[in-house]
Structure 1
Amino acid sequence: MKIDYSDRMVIWEWDASVIKIELPDIIHAEYHKDENIVIVYSGENFISKTIFYYSLEGKLLGQQNLLEGTLDWNHNGKHQVIFQHLHHLRFNPNNQRIFSILRSSSNFDIPSELEIYNLEGEKIYQIESPAGFTMLYISEISKEKLRIVCEALKEDYFDKYGRSDFYFNLDLETRKWVKDGFAY
């Protein structure tokens, strides 16, 4: 799907309609096929401060305040989650989940944790990164699994060419990790 944007307007076509959203200080806008939503990044000097999540019909689904570490959304009422040391977030209303990668501090040399919330704002799982790795970002989402790029914490986990970033699949039912090749 093609999305056009300027610093004040995001435009896309959906179901024979043209959707136009006005927002201040737009930095970037993109379509996420896994979530089937449009994500708009807003801020100043190319530094995002707010991320807006829209349905393809143009309805505001939620918004993330990066400075305060909050995510606000509507689902059977208003909800908010406050994150400490948030590294990466994926808002996934299609599967009624929120996926957040957290660190216990701003230190990247320690394992991270994945927290999974339902759309009622309740934490349903907390999963540690694969042994010897820390999670960087979620690259793909399906109902059954997540594909997450993880970085090795020690050279023992690098491959023979010195590569340290790998894909891992996380089965959402069993919560088991399976290494799935190099991440480029």
Structure 2
Amino acid sequence: MAYEPIPAHLQPFVVNIVRQARANLEEDGHLVSFAFVGNSSIPEVIPIQFDTRSEQAKDAAAAHVRQVAEMSNADFVLLVQDAWGLPPSKMSQYREIVERYGSVSASPHRLDVAAFILETHSGFWFAQVPITAKGLSKKKRTFSAQVEFSRGGAADGRMTNFLPKGI
């Protein structure tokens, strides 16, 4: 699939949200899961912190984001959360790693990453960047200021398809 940048009218929103997520990580030492529900024509962005500690909490968070997206006539939702990922050198071995260890999180190759999922009416864009120590600190953490989104195909699951249909 050819490179396709995120829609130009959403660039300022995404840049500001990513910048704030990085500042929060550097300040607090952890990345809190948020959905940013936006209507670019107003412009308005509604931040929604969500709990990922249980399946029930995830279901409730997803339902709340969908409700806010509908009420605000949203044209984008940007999810920001920490996750486990694999280094590029291990991505081709994803299936073998999950088979061997049961999950990416149980793998010795795992990386702590900041994950971003942008949903618009024209599709999904994804970004993932490693979370690293900030300077020589053992407690302060950060991620690269350069976060590059890639256009993805269709997405499915609890934390997708937030936008109201038919807009």
* TM-score, normalised with respect to structure 2: 0.26
Of structures 1 and 2, the one scoring higher in RCO (CA 8 A, sep 6+) is 2
Which structure has the highest strand share of the two? 1
* TM-score, normalised with respect to structure 1: 0.25
Which structure has the highest helix share of the two? 2
Which has the higher Rg, Structure 1 or Structure 2?
1
